[in-house]
Amino acid sequence: MKKTLAIIGVTGKLGYRVANKLANQDKYDLIGIARNPGKRSFDHFKNISFYQIKGIDDIENLSNALKKADIIINTGYVWFANHIHKALQKAKHKPEQIIFIGSAAIFTRYNVPSKAKRMAGEQSVFRNFKHWTLIRPTMIYGHPQDNNISRLIKFVNKSPVIPIIGKGKNKIQPIFIDDVVEFIIRSIDNPNVINKEINISGKRAITNRELFLTVAVLLQKRRILIPIPPQIILFGIKLFRLIGQKPPVKEEQVMRFLEDKNVDISEAVQLLEYTPRDFREGCGELIQTMREEGII
């Protein structure tokens, strides 16, 4: 029987890609929930209807949108959980499964404001829902608007020297966006992942140094890495603030750069029977896209 699947945040980078994978499938009637559905083109979809909400705290409209959903995917933020719970209570409706996208950033040892917000969101998931799945990706890259690796590619492409915070020995394990989408798609209606927290990332952890050098090698550019002591960067940030300027990086970003961000994905690989790309492969695909689009 056809199921109704609602996507919250359907106009987002992840939400739109997940929706596209489910477009025109006989298995699902889709409900797209967004603040501004006109932000993206859905003309090619035959199986989607829209509900506009003023924001995630617009419980009235959110409740209407969710009342018939068998499955819900929240590709907005994990801290939407409380609002979704309220909307489902108002609709007196219990979906078969609700998939939340969290973030592996929750594992940071620093008490950044977003950590408390994410933790409260996750607690709401565990407390308020019966059949949930929580997927926590590491840094997502793989498209020219990713704001992380695509920016690095542009920089490495132009600059003969690459400053790096510290020695670059800390580990990182970014995940290609299509792999995040694949993990989400494989979680839908999947009894293996009910009430499971699943950490996902790229296939293998690498050091920040290796990541920078991989980008240079793939671009076929000889580049020199210049390690900058973190204390100097932190001092520079203070100077920017002292003269009333916005620093190019925040203290939080510097500290996060200096901690290991690798995660164990063996459970995700086993439960969802999918192995994500290695960084070298994903970065190569991204460079090709950026070349085709004339960005580099």
Ligand X SMILES: NC(=O)c1ccc[n+]([C@@H]2O[C@H](COP(=O)([O-])OP(=O)(O)OC[C@H]3O[C@@H](n4cnc5c(N)ncnc54)[C@H](OP(=O)(O)O)[C@@H]3O)[C@@H](O)[C@H]2O)c1
Binding site for ligand X (CB under 6 A): 9, 11-15, 34-36, 39, 55-56, 75-78, 101, 103, 137, 139-140
**Cβ 144 to ligand X shortest distance, Å:** 13
SS3 36: coil
**Cβ 56 to ligand X shortest distance, Å:** 4
Nearer to ligand X, 104 or 287 (CB): 104
In terms of Cα–Cα distance, which of 72, 102, 77 is closest to 87?
A: 72
C-alpha Rg value of the chain to the nearest Å: 20
Nearer to ligand X, 140 or 287 (CB): 140
CB-CB contact of 206 with 171 (8 Å) = yes
**Cβ 243 to ligand X shortest distance, Å:** 31
Nearer to ligand X, 12 or 95 (CB): 12
Tokens of 269: 């690989």
Cα(81)–Cα(69) distance, integer angstroms = 16
Nearer to ligand X, 170 or 201 (CB): 201
User: What residues are paired with 165 via a beta bridge?
Assistant: 228
Cα(69)–Cα(94) distance, integer angstroms = 9
**Cβ 213 to ligand X shortest distance, Å:** 22
**Cβ 57 to ligand X shortest distance, Å:** 7
Nearer to ligand X, 6 or 14 (CB): 14
In terms of Cα–Cα distance, which of 271, 158, 162 is closest to 227?
A: 162
Residue nearest to ligand X (CB): 12
What's CA 165's distance to the chain center, in Å? 24
**Cβ 238 to ligand X shortest distance, Å:** 27
Nearer to ligand X, 217 or 249 (CB): 249
28's CB contacts (< 8 A; 6+ apart) are 2, 3, 4, 5, 22, 47
